[in-house]
Structure 1
Amino acid sequence: MASKVTDWSEVEVAATVGSYLEMLRQEVLGQPYVKTHFRKMLLPLLSNRTESAVEFKYQNISAVLMKLGLRPIRGYQPAQNYQQSLIPEVQRQLAATPSLIELVLAEALQAPTASPIGTLDFSSAGIPSIIFPKASKWTSEQTGRPDYAAIEARNRALGLAGELAVADLEYRRLVKAGKAYLARKIEHVSQSRGDGDGYDILSFEDSGKEKLIEVKTTKSRAETPFFVTANELKVSKEQSDIYQLVRVFNFGHNPAWFGLRGNLEATCVLEPNGFTALPRPA
């Protein structure tokens, strides 16, 4: 007879959140850690839970951290539904260790250490299947809560590195297609003309047709929101047949990307926060 699954107690939730946040601390500090070891150390503190149950609870915590304006640890995809009691417990433990919040937000402003050249593969990782729109009520401007995405958006060194990686990707793609003469015509517009054109890179399709590319880069997961200006939105509408937003994520670790072609109103869920954007579910 199968044993009855019981709700997680406050003690279990507290222990699991503490375990997760310690992994996050070590990750942000660049200290190596093994997730399996953390799961095994946690199990004796729980009431007959399995490792898979612990993994799912960690995914719950990843979702809560994203809702609270921070980034999750790498390797645990945010769960779509999560135990509501996790929210106050995560908040309580974060409040008790403000240095962890400071570490995570400081990371959002750190310049990339590796060269962006050659970091992106030709194949797109695809739009994430689980997306968490971030309501305006969570923004730091309104509530004083942390906002990893907003702080990272001000990281000019990261933004430039992402643009260089995408420009390099475009160059290699065209050369591979036997269109070296087009590759040589690629222009890094945000550097040569400034930010007023509504896109970062002028590239070309294999046919020679122009392609206007706006690049948004994050060190965090693909689900992390990004910010779109009114001008970028305007250009995406007016030039929808040649406009593409390229989202670069996991930058500096296992960088990947996906592309959104055309009008951003059609491809993203936009919130009037100047705008916060996420890919629109298919």
Structure 2
Amino acid sequence: MAADWTDEENDAIVADYFSMLADDLVGRSYSKAEHNRLLQAATGRARGSIEFKHRNISAVLQALGETWIPGYKPAFNFQSSLVDVVNRWLDRHPDWLVPIARLGEGVAPAVFAEEAILWIGPPPTQTNRPPPAELEQMAAIARKYDVAERDARNRVLGSAGEERVLAHEHANLRAAGRTDLANRVRWTSHVDGDGAGYDIESFEPDGDKRLIEVKTTNGWERTPFHITRNELEVADAQCEDWRLMRLWNFSREPRAFELRPPLRAHVSLIATNFQAMIL
């Protein structure tokens, strides 16, 4: 039985993985076989072991709410130390968490093209959940590293997601022949700040209001997210109009699904902090 990978070996393969992922995201060609050969020389590990470790890294990135290399399908039951190594790499490269920085200087992100209407599919369900052991492993990692909080703090990611949904709402209404309504769509959080309980005020083609709260991640569709007490209260008070637009896979090909109140019918709400008052 092969010995566990050392921290030095994990550091080497994680750095190599992100080098390939950076090329993959901007469409630059690279050779997986050449990367594998160089790692064999550096670590003494076999080709198959390196391939499987790359798949382990994909699984860790999925759990951390990050994108991964599609050619390395996530494989679970990895060393717990691998999660620390990947997270350490992300801490040392904070610009990686800013989606625009990955596209390269001077590259215009296609995701902001106003004519592009978002792919909006059904939300995740019980029937398409991963196996329980995988889901629990990913959930434990997401809790430990507070993936939802990291996405919530990423102002560039959040603003870019809102801008992408704003473009979608404009394009969707224009495609429906409602330019009059498209011209009235309002980026509320950008103009008025975050206190409204939603980010965008838009419309259905029939004129009904859409009050959209946008939650954006580079990760997969089950990546956890934060929601504030104010947002929940507005969702309950304006349940006919309020929508949560979950935008995922943002750094590659943004996709989305919508949740309508009551949110407790769709998600498990977990209290993560408390207000303390002196007795």
For residue 22 of structure 1, the aligned residue among 16, 22, 42 is 16
| Unpaired segments ≥5 residues, structure 2 | 102-106, 275-279
Q: Tell me: CA distance 1:33–1:149, structure 2 relative to 1, closer, same or farther (3 Å).
A: farther
Task: Please say if 1:87 is aligned against 2:76.
Answer: no
Alignment partners' CA distance in 1, 2:273 and 2:210: 24
| Unpaired segments ≥5 residues, structure 1 | 1-6, 140-146, 276-282
Conserved? CA contact 1:218–1:250, under 8 Å: yes
Q: Which residue of 1 aligns with 2:208?
A: 209
Conserved? CA contact 1:227–1:274, under 8 Å: no
Q: Which residue of 1 aligns with 2:277?
A: none
> What is the one-letter code of the residue matched to 1:246?
M
Conserved? CA contact 1:14–1:89, under 8 Å: no
Task: Please say if 1:184 is aligned against 2:183.
Answer: yes
Select the structure that is richer in helix: 2
String of CA shifts for 1:21-68, please: whole Å, max 9, x gaps: 4212453598846363267536896668499xx35x53433333455x
Q: Tell me: CA distance 1:259–1:193, structure 2 relative to 1, closer, same or farther (3 Å).
A: same
> What is the one-letter code of the residue matched to 1:63?
A
Alignment partners' CA distance in 1, 2:156 and 2:208: 30
Alignment of 1:18-97 (within 5 A): 18-25=12-19, 27=21, 32=28, 34=30, 36-37=32-33, 40-41=36-37, 49=48, 54=51, 57-67=53-63, 69=64, 71=66, 73-75=68-70, 76=72, 78-79=74-75, 82-84=76-78, 86-91=79-84, 93=85
Alignment of 1:222-261 (within 5 A): 222-261=221-260
% identical aligned pairs: 29
Conserved? CA contact 1:174–1:183, under 8 Å: yes
Task: Please say if 1:101 is aligned against 2:90.
Answer: yes
Alignment partners' CA distance in 1, 2:31 and 2:268: 33
Structure 2 length-normalised TM? 0.70
Q: Secondary structure at the match of 1:269?
A: coil
Conserved? CA contact 2:118–2:255, under 8 Å: no
Q: Which residue of 1 aligns with 2:139?
A: 133
Alignment partners' CA distance in 2, 1:23 and 1:136: 21
Q: How far is 1:117 from its partner?
A: 3.6
* Larger RCO: 1 or 2 (CA < 8 Å, sep 6+): 2
Q: Tell me: CA distance 1:34–1:16, structure 2 relative to 1, closer, same or farther (3 Å).
A: farther
Conserved? CA contact 1:228–1:274, under 8 Å: no
Q: How far is 1:83 from its partner?
A: 1.8
Which range moves more in the overlay, 152-161 or 196-205?
152-161
Alignment partners' CA distance in 2, 1:274 and 1:175: 42
Q: How far is 1:212 from its partner?
A: 1.1
Q: Tell me: CA distance 1:248–1:155, structure 2 relative to 1, closer, same or farther (3 Å).
A: same
Which range moves more in the overlay, 188-197 or 14-23?
14-23
Q: Which residue of 1 aligns with 2:272?
A: 273
Q: Tell me: CA distance 1:213–1:137, structure 2 relative to 1, closer, same or farther (3 Å).
A: closer
Q: How far is 1:87 from its partner?
A: 1.4
Q: How far is 1:177 from its partner?
A: 0.8
> What is the one-letter code of the residue matched to 2:97?
A
Alignment partners' CA distance in 2, 1:48 and 1:154: 39
Alignment partners' CA distance in 1, 2:74 and 2:273: 25
Structure 1 length-normalised TM? 0.69
Q: Which residue of 1 aligns with 2:160?
A: 161
Alignment partners' CA distance in 2, 1:240 and 1:195: 19
Q: Secondary structure at the match of 1:224?
A: coil
Q: Which residue of 2 aligns with 1:194?
A: 193
